[in-house]
Chain A
Amino acid sequence: MSQVSLDPVHALEISTATLPLLVPSACVAEVIGVQSLTRVPHSPRWVVGMLGWRGKPVPVVSMDALLRNSVQPAGGRSRLVVFYPLPGRKAWEFFAILAASEPQSRTIDSSILATSVDLPDNRYIATAVKIGKTVAAIPDFDALKAVFYPG
């Protein structure tokens, strides 16, 4: 069987306490240091607050809380990874993910995508791949959109 060869994709490996996430760099608007967040009452546990970013309000998500219901407090090395709005959403609907440390740049090619790893079923993970010895999960952005913006 022939393998489809893909052009290399620039990605960011975002560390969380649960497992690293691998996202296309093109999805990310900016990585910034942690700053004070405004609490948003009646938000799910996985929303850790609202960030003021470039004068815009941006909700901040804990993927640890979303993936395994465990909220990890931000530490000195934590970063906020600001994402562009998900496809189909309004132009101002940026969101951010709380990262445990500075995201690392990765280049993803067909050989890495061929190392698909089985993870315990989680609706927010599309698949997982091996980068060296690290297993990184690729988020299912459709599932994230469904839980972020229900109805």
Chain B
Amino acid sequence: MANAEQYLRIEIAGTHYLLPSNASLAIEQRHNLEVNEKSGDPVSAWRVVRSVRWPAYAMDADLNVTATDDWERAVFLDARPVPVGLVANEIQLLPRTDLVVEPFTPLGQPPVAAGPLFNGAWISEKSALLVFEPKALTAWLQSFGGAQ
């Protein structure tokens, strides 16, 4: 895996993950988003771009969709028909030199046809962080559905 790319560190339900920064179409603060006040809908918020709403979802520790108000930012990934986002408490761009990402193949059947949710990991002395595979993450977020 090329380590020339930069990564976003995203905190989801207390666990940090990495996402290649070039997979990010936009990062928005909460106050720039339209928060979904309707209960029972999987969408946490929308980014409204030229009257088109991009849905963003919250995930729990199992990376299933959840309802939570505990988030500050959303990162959006390019997708058709509209980009799709992930809300998180913390989204931080890591310095290029700080990490070495190694390839990783999760075992077993992936949750989406696009493949496993992760394709790498950063192993440090203190911790190990999984790296999202952007296409699979996008497909996974799209599978949550909800109001457009």
Contacts and interface: CB of A to CB of B under 8 A. Distances in A.
Interface of A: 38-44, 46-47, 50, 52, 55-57, 59, 61, 90, 92-93, 95, 147-150
Given A38-B127, A38-B129, A44-B109, 7 more contacts: A38-B121, A43-B107, A52-B121, A52-B123, A56-B102, A57-B121, A90-B103
Contacts, number: 68
A5 B100 CA distance: 49
**How many residues of B sit at the interface, in one of the four size bands?**
20 to 34
Contacts of A90: 103, 105
A148 B110 CA distance: 11
Contacts of B104: 50, 57, 59
Interface of A, secondary structure class, is loop
Interface of B: 15, 61-63, 100, 102-111, 117-118, 120-121, 123-124, 127-130
Nearest to A58: B104
Nearest to A57: B121
A47 B130 contact: no
A148 to B, nearest CB: 5
Contacts of A56: 102, 123
A92 B104 CA distance: 8
Contacts of A39: 15
Contact of A61 (B15, B107, B111, B130): B107
Contacts of A149: 105, 107
A38 B128 contact: yes
A41 to B, nearest CB: 4
